[in-house]
Structure 1
């Protein structure tokens, strides 16, 4: 592949407080659940170190709390939330 970096738009829009809460909570919950499943799978099947996933779960849980705090502090009838999120995928030799 000529270009080893690709960028994709994941979220790009203006959302009501309720919709933003649902979108961000779902995204963070999915990532937390992913790491929980990976922890269990790697530990049970391969007895692998799961410290990376444990750290990510803590980071994602803190992010989720910060997002919830931001949403709670927002006067829902006065504001919309603009959310922009991109992901960059880089190919790396194994």
Structure 2
């Protein structure tokens, strides 16, 4: 493959406060749930170290709280939220 980096647009739009809250909360909850499931699975099946997932859960939980605070501030000011999110996938030899 020529280029080992691929970029994809995940979110690109202007959203009402309610829609932005739903989108961002669902995304963050999914990531937190993923790490919780991954922790449990790795620990039970392989007795693997789960510190990375624990750290990510803390980071994602803090981000979720910051987003909730932003949403709370925004609701009283009647703004829309412009959300742009891209992901970059890099191919790496195993």
TM-score bucket (shorter structure): over 0.9
Report the equivalent of 2:49.
49
| Counterparts of 2:39 and 2:59, CA distance in 1 | 15
Render the CA deviation track for 1:30-81: whole Å, top value 9, x for unaligned. Answer: 0000000000000000000000000000000000000000000113562100
Structure 1 segments of 4+ aligned residues over 6 angstroms from their partners = none
| Counterparts of 1:32 and 1:19, CA distance in 2 | 20
Render the CA deviation track for 1:1-49: whole Å, top value 9, x for unaligned. Answer: 1110000000000000000000000000000000000000000000000
- Alpha-carbon RMSD across the aligned residues, in angstroms, is 0.9
Gaps of 5+ in 2: none
Aligned length in residues: 94
Q: Confirm or deny: 8 A CA contact 1:16 1:76 kept in the other structure.
A: no
| Counterparts of 2:64 and 2:77, CA distance in 1 | 22
| Counterparts of 2:83 and 2:15, CA distance in 1 | 8
| Counterparts of 2:9 and 2:89, CA distance in 1 | 11
Report the equivalent of 1:85.
85
| Counterparts of 1:65 and 1:91, CA distance in 2 | 32
